[in-house]
Every structure is written in C-alpha cells, then in structure tokens.
C-alpha cells in the first residue's frame, strides 16, 4: 500500500500537475487523476488477493470492492499532500522570478537614468569651457584639467554601484571650482561640508543635479547673486541643501516640471531610497531652495 501511495504521490507531483494542472488542461488532469486512482486500486485488489490466497489463507477474505475502497482515503491524502506541496513550490518559484524581474527592471532603469546624467552634465561643462575660450581666458587650461578630473570620475569611479561620499564631495568641489572660472566676483558661492563624509557610501552623481541647477538659474552677470550649498553627515544620515537666487526663471525651477537633470535624480531617489529619503523644493520667486535628507 505504501509503495502504491508513494507512486500516486509522485505521479501527481511530478507529472500531472506540471503537465496538465499548471497548463490549465483541467479536463485531462481530472481524467488522468482518476485513471491513476483506478490503476492503484486495481493493483491493491490484486495484491490483497495474492497475499491472502498464498500467505494468509486461513483468514476471512473480503470482496474486491472492499480492497478497492481501502485505497481511496490514502489516495486522497497523497493527492492533497502532493498538490499542496507542488502548488506552494510553484508559488514560491513564481515569487522569486517576479522579484528577480523587478530587480532586473530596477537595475536597468537605474543604469538608463545614470547614462542620461553624464551627457547632460558634459554638455554644460563643455559650454562653460567654450565660453572661457572665447574670452581667451587664462583659466581655459586649468578648466580643461578640471574637466579631465571630472571625466575620470564619471568614466571610471561612477561605474561602481556606490562610492565614498568623500569622493562625491570632491567631485562637487571640482565642479564648483570649474564653474567659478566663468562667473564674476560678484557671485558669492559657499560650499560647507560637516561630518565624517569618508564613512558613508553613496550612489555616484546623485547630488550634482541640484548644484548644476543652482548654477544654471542662480547666477547673475550684472548684479549680486549667490549660491549656498551645505552638506552634513550625522549618524548614518545625510542632510544636503542648495539655495540660490532666482535669476533665470526656467522650467527646472518648477518642481512639477523639472528638467532632465532633476527628473533623473528624483526618480533615482525613489528607486534607491524608498521610504528612506525626504526632499522639499521651495520656490518663493526670489529664492530657490532644495532640502534633501537620506537615511542610510
């Protein structure tokens, strides 16, 4: 009996469920299920008659129907157990596949967003150097050197999933220094860093869009203007703020209609730090301020 039930169990588990039930061939599944039950019932009847006839001849013999019904309850148990185990296994397998697909989609989307950052950023820097070259500025050579440092970071270190926050800060400083070469002395630029930035890891080029936006819309060549950038690290938490005058009112100063750079970074934050970051963008037509908090 145990051998027959084990055979029925694996017949359903390994053959019927994957070939018919999971393929939604319910009629074929039911027919084969009962066919299997009929076969093991017949085999059990034959087995019982042989055993009783040759090995236990002196006991009372039951009819064939009795021996057939003896297989029903164990068969139901084998059927229920094999079906529940296989369905549970398939559910977990589908959940794993779904999770893997979500992770692959997330990775692909992040890679796409990251690839968009580099050209967008590079175009702006090249325009800055072009402006210096037109003025025949002595800073042109130094600007090209700064650009090479930025490109080295963008091409090599930014390929890593995460980098030291210290390197990201150095990258921002190089960018700011490069921007200072093309603006007048009337523009006051402050970049303050507090806390152990070398102890945290962050996704590369995550903060640059906010700084770039400030230089794009907060610089005046005829009047006073300024940009204040503040970064502070405390207890596995990053606080980052960028504030600038609104000089060139443009689409990137409107939170609901952010340009390519800000759209990308907002989406990256959603993907990388769900429920672990807060961001507020305030625009009072005089000052534009971004406040970002990330909990690592």
pLDDT digits (tens, 9 = 90+) for 186-207: 788 999 999 999 989 998 888 9
Q: 172 lies in a domain?
A: yes
Q: Are residues 71 and 189 in the same domain?
A: no
Q: Are residues 58 and 198 in the same domain?
A: no
Residue 261 lies in a domain: yes
Same domain, 91 and 144: no
Q: Tell me whether residue 115 is in a domain.
A: no
Are residues 170 and 59 part of one domain? no
45 lies in which domain range?
2-98
* Each residue's pLDDT tens digit, 74-107: 777 777 888 888 889 888 888 887 777 676 666 6
The verdict on 168 and 290 lying in the same domain is: yes
Does one domain contain both 178 and 288?
A: yes
* Residue 120 predicted with pLDDT over 80: no
pTM summary value: 0.60
Number of domains in the chain: 2
105 located within any domain: no
The angle subtended at Cα 261 by Cα 259 and Cα 266, nearest 5°, is 90
Residue 110, in any domain of the structure: no
Pair (63, 151) in one structural domain: no
């Amino acid at each position: 009996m145990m051998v027959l039930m084990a055979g029925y169990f694996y017949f359903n588990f390994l053959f019927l469920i994957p070939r018919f039930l999971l393929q939604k061939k319910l009629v074929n599944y039911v027919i084969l299920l009962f066919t299997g039950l009929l076969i093991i019932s017949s085999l059990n009847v034959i087995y019982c008659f042989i055993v009783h006839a040759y090995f236990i001849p002196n006991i009372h013999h039951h009819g064939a129907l009795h021996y057939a019904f003896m297989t029903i309850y164990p068969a139901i148990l084998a059927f229920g157990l094999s079906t529940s185990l296989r369905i549970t296994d398939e559910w977990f397998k589908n959940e794993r596949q779904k999770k893997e697909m979500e992770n692959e989609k997330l990775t692909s989307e992040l890679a796409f967003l990251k690839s968009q950052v580099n050209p967008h950023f590079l175009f702006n820097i090249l325009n800055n150097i072009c402006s210096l070259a037109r003025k025949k500025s002595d800073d042109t050579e130094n600007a090209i050197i700064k650009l090479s440092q930025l490109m080295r970071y963008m091409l090599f270190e930014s390929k890593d999933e995460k980098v030291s926050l210290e390197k990201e800060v150095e990258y921002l400083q190089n960018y700011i220094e490069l921007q200072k070469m093309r603006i007048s002395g009337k523009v006051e630029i402050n970049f303050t860093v507090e806390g152990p930035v070398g102890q945290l890891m962050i996704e590369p080029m995550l903060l640059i869009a906010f700084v770039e936006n400030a230089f794009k819309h907060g610089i005046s060549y005829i009047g006073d203007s300024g940009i204040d950038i503040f970064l502070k690290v405390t207890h596995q938490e990053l606080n980052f703020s960028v504030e600038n005058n609104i000089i060139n009112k443009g689409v990137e100063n409107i939170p609901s209609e952010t340009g390519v750079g800000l759209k990308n970074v907002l989406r990256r934050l959603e993907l990388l730090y769900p429920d672990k970051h807060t961001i507020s963008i305030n625009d009072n037509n005089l000052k534009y301020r971004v406040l970002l908090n990330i909990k690592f």
